[in-house]
Chain A
């Protein structure tokens, strides 16, 4: 019998500085279904390390801002909405923090695994949310440093001509896949600040050769960046699959969390509305039916709480039917959710549950993948 394929599931991470919004929930649920289903048929690793992305300006700049403007305050009792409000205030400022000012923060993150108490508080709250949603926790509160330093990463990419480093002349560092027709992409500023792509490569470059397949999940606005990442990782051997999942519009508009207009549809707000309406199982399954199967990859439909309620009712009916269904039918279903790749397509899996022509879902599959 041949060994199971080795699959690395590597989604883009959410910066722990704000509440989870429908767009974040969609990405997390898509990733979770993909990971847990694929883990049944492949040797699967889920890599999601907030540690890797702390060195970005977006995060370090926020922490520096908090310490400069709010001093030593107790974040351990704050809600993620309260911390998110501080983040919105930070992002509204036009001034950029210098690399020199951020250096002590960057050094602490790199050398000691330090996390600012505001970031630690958000990650602690998210750990609770993951448990409530039945999401696999990939180590939100665990120190998981990337395998390579920034300079090592650049040195590894240079022989292939994939890095254009102009720091010696006072310029930035670019990823260079122009030979494949992809535009230059800056990854480090002239004064040495890495962006999230530089951080992603520090993590993924050393991991890639250990896998047969790498699955990248990201929001569709990052398509070009992930084309680049996929190209560079594939040079290291694995097949690289890109899954772009669009953000969820709210009232017809797709907005970034940094603008702060999430108050009536953050995960906390959603929980307050759903409280007492359904069982924990139907909430978990309903969330997956809604965010994965109903909303799909695209962004045609705006977020609607009444639709989520509808899907939890539907989930309860599925759960009821599955109680009398025979176990062991899940394997054949999983096989139908793969075509030319090792990972399980979450959309095909979840939407297949809604096919009325099919028999009731395997209760084992439900509990292992969707609850």
Chain B
């Protein structure tokens, strides 16, 4: 996969078209600045967001639990959240301390992370006031490929389990930034049916995604935080790997 500014912009525009087609007609989507302007024009009070409460991060475990959370949402809820660009607010907190006071939508079995919503932003005000923005400024470690297996759920339309590679660009990225980007890729891939219960994902860390040989089915593109006038590819989900 050869990344170009045009490909990155096209990917970002297609995401906007899928999530909120009515916005596209009235906006300038010919540049990263135009995309950012669209996002900034949204009225927060009208949007849905998920609050993700994080105690600690083990990346493969977090990938699995994020997919399971996305799989747990019904279609209408997922669609509504998609219209708000799967906005997620990451907060530092200990789910175990919050269970009695708040209705947590889902809690990871080890208590490392929990989700509330999707809900109107105002509905989570009390929780947000109690917690702090999640800060994780540690660079993402170089790590060997790790397979993440999703359990087979009950009640979902069955399809045979697939195995994909999940590439993560780690150069210059912190754990906190990575969660933000990967979260969008994973939950939207679940909503698009690319990831389902029973699937396997091999998490692979690479410095950058440009030049990736594997065919990519979903690409996460966002403003490059080092160069805000550019876009950057943060994570990629490949086509299914051949069955062995």
Judge whether B32 is part of the interface by a CB distance below 8 angstroms. no
B129 at the interface (CB under 8 A from A): yes
- A residues near B134, Cβ cutoff 8 Å: 166, 171
Contact pick for A168, options B56, B101, B129, B130, CB 8 Å = B56
Binding site for A on B (CB under 8 A): 55-57, 92-94, 96-98, 100-101, 129-132, 134-139, 174-176
In the complex, what distance in Å separates the CA atom of A57 from the CA atom of B165?
46
Q: Does A104 contact B (CB under 8 A)?
A: no
Q: Are B92 and A164 in contact (CB under 8 A)?
A: yes
Residues in B neighbouring A181, C-beta threshold 8 A: 101, 130
Assuming A171-B136, A183-B129, what are 19 further A-B pairs, CB within 8 angstroms?
A161-B96, A161-B97, A166-B134, A169-B138, A169-B175, A170-B136, A170-B176, A171-B137, A171-B176, A174-B92, A176-B94, A176-B97, A178-B97, A179-B100, A179-B101, A181-B101, A181-B130, A184-B93, A186-B132
Give residues of chain A (159-203) contacting chain B, Cβ–Cβ below 8 Å.
161, 164, 166, 168-172, 174, 176, 178-179, 181-184, 186, 190
Beta-carbon contact of B93 and A170 below 8 Å = no
Inter-chain contact A169/B136, CB cutoff 8 Å: yes
* Interface residue from A168, A170, A178 paired with B131 (Cβ < 8 Å): A178
Contact B94 A178 (CB under 8 A): yes
Q: Which residues of B contact A190 (CB under 8 A)?
A: 135, 137
Query: Contact between B174 and A170 (Cβ–Cβ < 8 Å)?
Result: yes
Contact, CB under 8 Å: A170 / B132: no
The CA of A171 and the CA of B100, in the complex, are separated in Å by 26
Chain B residues closer than 8 Å to A166, beta-carbon distance: 56, 92, 134-136
Q: Are A178 and B57 in contact (CB under 8 A)?
A: no
**Complex alpha-carbon distance, A172 and B133, angstroms:** 11
With contacts A166-B92, A184-B92, A184-B130 taken as known, whether A172 is within 8 angstroms of B97 at the C-beta atoms is no
Residue numbers in B under 8 Å from A174 (CB-CB): 92, 132
Cα A176 to Cα B97 in complex, Å, equals 8
Smallest beta-carbon distance A142→chain B, Å: 37
Secondary structure at the B interface, as helix, strand, loop or mixed, is loop
Q: In the assembled complex, which residues on chain B have CB atoms less than 8 Å from the CB atom of A178?
A: 93-94, 97-98, 101, 130-131
For this complex, 26 residue pairs linking A to B, each with C-beta atoms less than 8 Å apart, are A164-B92, A164-B93, A164-B94, A166-B92, A166-B136, A168-B138, A169-B138, A170-B136, A170-B139, A170-B174, A170-B175, A170-B176, A171-B136, A172-B135, A174-B92, A176-B93, A176-B97, A178-B93, A178-B97, A178-B98, A178-B130, A179-B97, A183-B132, A184-B131, A184-B132, A190-B137
Among all A-B residue pairs, the 6 with the closest Cβ atoms: A170-B138, A170-B137, A169-B136, A179-B97, A171-B135, A178-B97
Chain A residue, CB-CB nearest to B132: A184
- Chain A residue at smallest Cβ distance from B101: A181
Q: Chain A residues with Cβ under 8 A from B96's Cβ?
A: 161
A contact face: mostly helix, strand, loop, or mixed: loop
Residues of A within 8 A of B137 (CB): 170-171, 190
Contacts of B175 in A (CB 8 A): 169-170
How many residues of chain A have a CB within 8 Å of chain B? 18
Contacting residues, chain A, for B129 (C-beta < 8 A): 183
Q: Which residues of B contact A179 (CB under 8 A)?
A: 97-98, 100-101
Most chain B CB inside 10 Å of its own CB: which residue of A164, A171, A172, A176: A171
Q: How far is the CA of A184 from the CA of B97 in the complex (A)?
A: 11
Residues of A within 8 A of B132 (CB): 174, 183-184, 186
A252 → chain B closest CB, angstroms: 31
CB-CB nearest in chain A for B138: A170
Name A167's closest neighbour in chain B (CB-CB). Answer: B138
Of the candidates B97, B100, B139, the one having the most CB atoms from chain A within 10 angstroms of its own CB is: B97
Which single residue of chain B is at the shortest CB-CB distance from A181? B101
Residues in B whose Cβ lies below 8 Å from that of A186: 132
CB distance from A186 to the nearest CB of B (A): 7
Chain B: CB-nearest residue to A160:
B97
* Minimum C-beta distance from A45 to chain B (A): 32
List chain B residues, Cβ under 8 A from A169. 56-57, 136, 138, 175-176
Residues of chain A lying within 8 A (CB to CB) of residue B100: 179
Q: How far is the CA of A190 from the CA of B94 in the complex (A)?
A: 18
Q: Kindly identify, within residues 99 to 123 of chain A, every residue whose CB is under 8 Å from any CB belonging to chain B.
A: none
Rounded to whole angstroms, the CA-CA distance of A168 and B140 in the bound complex is 11
Report the minimal beta-carbon distance from A179 to chain B, rounded to whole angstroms.
Answer: 4
| CB-defined contacts of B94 to chain A, threshold 8 Å | 161, 164, 176, 178
Q: Which residue of A lies closest to B127 (CB)?
A: A178
Distance between Cα atoms of A169 and B135 in the complex (Å) = 8
Docked complex Cα distance between A174 and B55 (Å): 11
| With contact pairs A164-B92, A181-B130 given, residues A170 and B135 touching in the complex (Cβ less than 8 Å) | yes
CA distance A181 to B139 in the complex (A): 33
